[in-house]
Amino acid sequence: MRARLVRWGTAAAASIAFGIALDKADPLRGTLLFLPWIVAGLREIDALPGVRRVGGQLASGLEALALGLLVAFAAVRSWLALPFATAAVVGGLTLWLLLAALRRGIGLRPLLGARLPARPPAVFFLLPLTVYLGLQPWVTAARLPDGDEPYYLLVAHSLAYDLDDDLANNYAAGDSLAFLDRRLEPQPGDPVGSGGELYSRHNLLLPLLLAPAYRLAGAAGAQTVMALLAAALAWVTLRLARHYFRAHPGPVLVAWLAGALLSPLLLYAPQVWVEVPAALLSAIALDHLLELKYDRLWNRRRWLGIGLPLLLLPLLKIRLLLLAVPLLALAWWHAGRPRKPLIILGIALGLLSAAMLGYNTFTYGNPLKIHTLGELRLYETPARTYLLGGAGLFFDTAFGLFGATPVWLLLLPATALLVARRHPLLFDLLVFSSPYLLIVASRREWYGGWSPPFRYALVILPLLTLMLVPLLEQRRRLGARWLLGGLFAATVALLLLWTVVPGWTYNFADGRTLLLDQLGARTGSDIARLTPSMLRPRPATWIVPLLLLAGVPALWHWPRRRSGAVAGGAALALAALAALPLLAARLPTRTIELEDAWVAKSGGHLHPDRWMFDRTRYRGGWVLREGEEATAYPVAGGRELTVTVELEWVRNTDSPLTLTLRAGERPLATWEPTTPRHWERIELGPFPWQPGEPLVFAVSGPAGEPTNGLILDRARLAWR
Amino acid sequence: MSARSFRALASRIPPFASALAAGAALAVLAAHQQGAAAVESAYFARWALAVLVPLALAVPRPGHEIGAAAIASNLAAWVLPAGPQRGAAFGALLVAAVVTGTVRLLARRDAGGLRLPLVPLAVAFQALFAAPRLLVPAPALLWTDLLPALAAGFALALLGRVAGRSALAGGALVAVALGGFGPVAAGLLLVAAGVAGWRGERPDPRFVLGFAAAGSAGLLLLPRGEQPVFAALAALVLLAPFALWPAGGRSARAWWLGGWGLALAAATTGHGVAALAPALLFLSLALAPTPERDRLATLWSGWLLAGAALAAGFPWLAPQPAGQLLAWLGGTATSPSRQLVAAVLLALAAAALLPLLARRWPRAAAPRHLALLPALLLAGCGLFRPETPLLGTAPVVLTATGPLWGAPLAAPPGEIVVELALAGSAQLASGTAIGRIRLDCEDGAAVERALRTGIEVADWAARRPDLAARLGPPPATAWISWLGPDPTFFAQRYRLLWSPPPCEGGAPPVAVRIELEPDLPPELTLAIHRVGVRR
């Protein structure tokens, strides 16, 4: 007890000292105020009976020393006056917190015993919560709420202060300035009441949950509730594991640490999205319905544990009905196909759905709010769309799971192993997720819109986490350890970037990522074309996933018996990094997307505007007006070049317009458009070509105020 | 080769591969960049290889710190824009890797396993201190750095075998005092190791005293150095582990007094921290080891060695790292402050009392608690005396046509910090007044501080070989370096800390100005990179 008092008393004193010393405008103020409490929380975990001290006193000493140095560095950064010093402190503290949490997580192994308990100890909730709360002050301040988040918060504000969901007064009063740096405007499709009320198109369940905390502590309170839900999801995932891998607590723990402490859950924990509570409700329902396998007993707890999530899911978001129905089917299946629960729950779900559709029709004039029934005609969607959308959820560089968190590539050999063993987990995953993911994959916005990666598929994260368990039982092979080390190193490196610059997790749907653009700018090469994008298909879109599908399982299973060190994985990760600019500088350029950052422009603008709603409906390009030009340095693939340009003529006056293609100052071809507002594909060439020459697209016209222009989408290069 | 030897060798492959991969990835980055960024990345590649490859041979299995350092240093290099901030992050990560590896190595209970790894470990440390010379690697590096580091490592291995951990700590402190495991440090350590090896046991204190006295006498015969005595007292912080009151009778106390007498005499020679090396070596070998002294010596030498390595590396490039480190800790640009000297003397007194305190409160007075103390002290000073910038992120350049910059002050400053660099000043003699910093008082009076070439400020290209040959090394105010497109020298900025006296009559200061003198060569410019005030 005395040690606990000392621990928390020291935390309070340190927090007060930071509060006095730090300026209110200091970007690290929130982080440093919270830090002593986080440290005390971790020390509490150390003091739990039965917990193992991984690394012993040496690791504890190094950890304390590293923390002391980071705090000292944070204190003297104004003296050093180096740019990015704050970012370096944040990166250091993130790494420290992650490693400290992983060390403690591994030390919790004795608490799981020889067989997974039915009710994991509360520390498996507290540990991820500590990490989420530790990062929350910085992440939420460095990137203000975006996407749908501010609208959920505004509704929570209205519920908390006005006790209604009419947002008209909140928009007018600028209440969004409490958590944003701008006044919110209504979203497209927001319903308008008969008396001039303005409502949100989002359901009220999540804002209702957040309203009390919002009333107490504003947006920070609401975000803390989201962190609590994320930590609860982590705990339920561990509880769920006992149904599949009860006798394998070691590998379950390792998989659980990856799911709970790494992205995507770590990214979504402080953010306001429905996907985390949806995943939580689904996991709770799954956990209860899988208990039916053992005793087929429908007691009150089971009714509540299955029925309540099923009914709450569509209330959270209507599309989550596509999760509720499969969960009902699974409950029926695992309970031995009884009729009564199926009928009762089916009727309840049906009545709720009918009520919701009726309410939407009455309030919005559309039973599906802003969606159409046409979106449900899955049979009209081509197979290629499903393939791109489905694969994109995992392989897309900007929005897929693997691009944001490489360690999840382990799902590839894990899936093969589960298929080989015909594991029941696969059946449950397929039944639960297929209807929902099919709808998601068929949508133009399968990537989640304006959000961090893997948004729509986050609901299946608990089952994906458990898929890793059988694979991790084999983690002592040489290839496995090098792969684990390399993927873990790459994941942690990316996670540091996502934490320090949270804005880099929000990518534009243009086939690139902000991180790749930075790397491309550093190395002067178009690295992004080497990565798969399902939004802008290119050769890498197909080659890279096939290589990964073959290569990752092969490396995992090689060689059979020898063990190795995880430390070698860093060499693998660095080799992959170094390969990017080497390949980008050597592989011939086949396509130039004129809007990309690596193409230098003397003027013009993006088309359509970057913030155009549902931008992927349009052909993205760059507008060049009279007197402006764009220059790219393609990697030559031969001595002769033919250029096919896709463009549209924007004619505002009758003045003629000419597109001139040049190799540096050497003119290659000219072309004059004849048909305005019509996308054309023109072939120019072949021209002789010297390696290293710049390819210039120049637009010219009569002197004077430029009023006509060309929208250039892309140029395809054919070499011979 | 036996299976055991093969396994030992094979266990080195992963960290070795990581170290090589780190350098290779940086080399690839350099090959795809232009201008100053490419020069800097290529330099990082050489530096990383020089540090991480020997470290990979030194650290115990599995060597995760090598992989972590390889990834983290590349992360910094690939993501951060080129400039001193990238260099600072890169250097800090390399130092962290070496320190972590050293801590893990020393934590091994197997004393036999400790010996040989000290050789590559000394090379890794020397690579940190040799950072300035890695910009343009020359064959001379073999003689100035590699061979001396190897020799020093062997000497430490031998000394550790016969004289225990205190000898290792003493060797580390010698490296701190002399700015690395260079020829002089290697020579001192080799002689000490030679004596110990010849006798096969802890060397006779009388012999070591004679050798150390000879070394110190040699210093006394040299012309007096420029370091003021009171500033040299701050350097006595290196001897803190040896301030512990010795146990073991009259002879132990005699050697202790003798060693401290040598140290104080060396401090009066004005040659700064380096003069303490013989006294350090003597005290570490002559005094019988005790658990408290060993632990305190390990922690203290670790802090100072890491700090000195950081100060010696890019972008700081301090020519006398330990002395510079003390100046910075004391809050000045050039020499330790009076406050630091007082703090050091207090620390020595506290260390002397530690054995008595440890008897009464063994847990509270544990040396490991001192490990965090420097960090906490630094944090306290930084938190409660932050620096407020008066200049934006873009530098201001004063020229003959625009010789003045100024900013209002919201409150009287405790200290004014400026970062400056001249251009086109190569023809001016050292000591030429080129401008001033001026504090305007409310009643119209002013207080000023002159800016003189070679003293407060110097040319940005002062490290260029032709200028360095003519003007000598940069002044002690040299602060931060960066790499320009010319790959043969480091560009330099200078930092001046000025505690202005109060205005006459007690009027509050209202503005600060920096201005160039008139009648200077027209090509001369003064770039102001930073102006800040501290409470």
pLDDT of residue A89: 94
Do A473 and A531 reside in the same domain of the chain? Answer: yes
Alpha-carbon distance of A214 to A470, in angstroms, equals 42
CB-based contact A570 B393, cutoff 8 Å? no
Residues A380 and A366 in one domain: no
What confidence score (pLDDT) does residue B61 get?
79
Residue A33: the pLDDT is: 94
List strand residue ranges (DSSP E) for B427-519, in order: 433-441, 446-452, 478-483, 490-498, 509-516
**Contact predicate B63/A502, CB 8 Å:** no
Q: A688 and A572 in one domain?
A: no
CA B226 to chain centre: 19
Q: Give helix A478-500 / helix A85-107 axis angle, nearest 10°.
A: 140
Q: Find out whether B488 and B407 touch, Cβ atoms under 8 Å.
A: no
Within an 8 Å CB–CB cutoff, is residue B147 touching chain A?
no
Query: Is residue A140 a part of any domain in this protein?
Result: no
* Domains (range + CATH), chain B: 1-107 (no CATH), 142-382 (no CATH), 389-534 (2.60.120)
Whole-number Cα distances in Å, A107 to A42, A56, A60, A102: 12, 11, 13, 8
The whole-angstrom separation of Cα B93 and Cα B72 is 7
The answer to whether residue A137 sits within a structural domain is no
Domain boundary among A320, A343, A371: A371
- Are residue A404 and residue A553 in the same domain, yes or no? yes
Q: Is B70 near chain A, with CB under 8 Å?
A: yes
Residue A148 lies in a domain: no
What is residue B474's DSSP assignment?
P
Q: Which residues from A are below 8 Å from B80, CB to CB?
A: 84
- Tell me which of A112, A128, A152 is where a domain ends: A112
The reply to whether residue B383 touches residue A18, judged by beta carbons under 8 angstroms, is yes
Chain B environment of A95 (Cβ under 8 Å): 72
- Tell me the pLDDT band of B197, cut-offs 50, 70 and 90: low
pLDDT, position A255: 97
Query: What is the spatial distance between Cα A391 and Cα A399, in angstroms, rounded to a whole number?
Result: 11
Beta carbons of A574 and B70 less than 8 Å apart: yes
A-chain residues within 8 Å CB-CB of B21? 570-571, 574-575, 578
For chain A, the domain total comes to 4
In this structure, are A483 and A546 located in the same domain? yes
Collapsed DSSP state (helix, strand, coil) of residue A687: strand
CA dihedral A21, A26, A31, A33 (to 10 degrees): 20
Query: What is the CATH classification number for the domain harbouring A646?
Result: 2.60.120.260
Kindly report, residue by residue over B67-96, the tens digit of the pLDDT. Answer: 999 999 999 999 999 988 999 999 999 999
Within 8 A of B376 by CB-CB distance, chain A residues are 68, 71-72
Distance in angstroms (rounded) separating the CA atoms of residues A89 and A141? 15
Closest residue of B to A89, CA-based?
B89
- In a domain? residue A463: yes
Minimal C-alpha gap between A16 and chain B (Å): 12
Please state the rounded mean pLDDT for residues B454-477: 89
Say if B89 is an interface residue toward chain A (CB within 8 Å): yes
Same domain, A365 and A379: no
Residue A365 pLDDT: 74
Nearest CA distance, B67 vs chain A (angstrom):
5
The C-alpha angle with vertex B339 and arms to B337 and B340, in degrees rounded to 5, equals 70
Sign of CA dihedral A528, A534, A540, A545: positive
pLDDT mean by block of 10 residues, chain A; 720 residues = 88 91 90 95 93 88 90 88 90 95 96 94 97 95 91 96 93 94 86 83 94 96 97 98 96 96 95 96 96 87 93 94 94 86 89 89 75 72 89 95 96 95 95 94 88 95 96 82 90 95 91 90 87 92 94 84 67 91 93 89 89 79 93 93 94 88 94 91 93 93 79 94
Q: What mean pLDDT value characterizes chain B? A: 85
Closest chain B C-alpha to A335 CA, distance in angstroms: 49
Could you tell me if A621 and A640 lie in one domain?
yes
Q: What percent of chain B has pLDDT over 90?
A: 37
Q: Where does the pLDDT of residue B369 fall: very low under 50, low under 70, confident under 90, or very high at 90 and above?
A: low
| Residue A648 maps to a domain | yes
Helix H, strand E, coil C: the string for A308-357 is: HHHHHHHHHCHHHHHHHHHHHHHHHHHCCCCCHHHHHHHHHHHHHHHHHH
Q: A329 and A401, same structural domain?
A: no
Q: Is residue A359 located within the same domain as residue A379?
A: no
Question: Which pLDDT belongs to residue B328?
Answer: 79
Give B387 to chain A, closest Cα distance, Å. 5
Rounded to two decimals, what is the model's pTM? 0.92
Residue A366 belongs to domain spanning: 275-371
Q: How many beta-carbon contacts under 8 Å exist across A and B?
A: 171
* Virtual torsion, Cα A499, A501, A503, A507, nearest 10 deg: -90
pLDDT of the residue at B168: 85
**Residue whose C-alpha is closest to residue A73's, from B99, B75, B379, B303:** B379
Q: Which residues pair with A595 in a beta bridge?
A: none
Residue B290 sits at the chain A interface (C-beta within 8 Å)? no
Do A380 and A365 share a structural domain?
A: no
CA angle A601, A505, A101 (to 5 degrees): 145
- Minimum mean pLDDT range among B22-36, B165-179, B333-347: B333-347
The mean-pLDDT minimum among A12-21, A704-713, B304-313, B511-520 falls in: A704-713
Closest CA to A632 of A619, A640, A643: A643
Report which DSSP code applies to A688.
E
Residue A451 covered by a domain: yes
Contact A519 B78 (CB under 8 A): yes
Mutate: best of A71, A90, A574, partner B, most B CBs <10 A: A574
CA distance A516 to A469: 32
- Structural domain includes residue A413: yes
Residues in chain A closer than 8 A to B384 (CB atoms): 21
Are A387 and A349 found together in one domain?
A: no
- Residues of A within 8 A of B378 (CB-CB) are 72, 75-76
d(CA A541, CA A437): 20
**Residue A567: its chain B contacts at CB < 8 A?**
14-15, 18, 62-64, 66-67
Of A74, A80, A567, the CB nearest to B67: A567
Q: State whether A614 and A689 are in the same domain.
A: yes
Distances (CA, A) of B207 to A579, B154, B337: 59, 21, 37
Going by pLDDT thresholds of 50, 70 and 90, the confidence category of residue B436 is very high
Instruction: Write down the pLDDT at residue B225.
Output: 66
Q: What is the DSSP string of B59-127?
A: SPTT-HHHHHHHHHHHHHHHHSPSSHHHHHHHHHHHHHHHHHHHHHHHT-S-GGGGTTTHHHHHHHHHH
d(CA A512, CA A393): 15
Which chain A residues are within 8 Å of B107, Cβ to Cβ? 58
Asked if B298 has any chain A CB less than 8 Å from its own CB, the reply is no
Query: From the candidates B18, B66, B298, which should be mutated to test the interface with A, based on the most A CB atoms within 10 A?
Result: B18
Q: Which pairs count as long-range contacts for A604-613, CB under 8 Å and 24+ apart, including other chains?
A: A604/A628, A604/A630, A604/A709, A607/A711, A610/A508, A613/A188
SS3 A371: coil
Which of A318, A340, A371 lies at the terminal end of a domain, its last residue?
A: A371
Chain B residue closest in CA terms to A57 = B107
Task: Tell me the backbone φ, ψ of residue A716, rounded to 5 degrees.
Answer: -100, 135
Using CA atoms, how far apart are residues A229 and A98, in angstroms rounded to an integer? 19
* Higher per-residue pLDDT: A374 or B419: B419
pLDDT the model gives residue B200: 60
- The per-residue pLDDT for A132 is 97
B511 has which bridge partners? Answer: B408, B440
pLDDT confidence tier of residue B12, bands split at 50, 70 and 90: confident
Specify the higher pLDDT residue, B111 or B296.
B296
Helix (H) or strand (E) holding A184: none
Q: Is A19 among the domain residues?
A: yes
Does residue B35 or residue A214 have the better pLDDT? A214
Residue spans of alpha helices (H) in B249-290: 250-267, 277-286
Q: Please count the residues of chain B.
A: 535
Nearest CA-CA partner of B296 in B345, B242, B241: B241
CB atoms within 10 A of CB B200: 8
Q: Do A68 and B78 touch (CB under 8 A)?
A: no
Asked if B383 and A17 come within 8 Å (Cβ–Cβ), the reply is: yes
* DSSP tag of A676: B
Q: Chain B residues with CB inside 8 Å of A61's CB?
A: 103, 368, 371
The arithmetic mean of pLDDT across residues B383-398, rounded, is 87
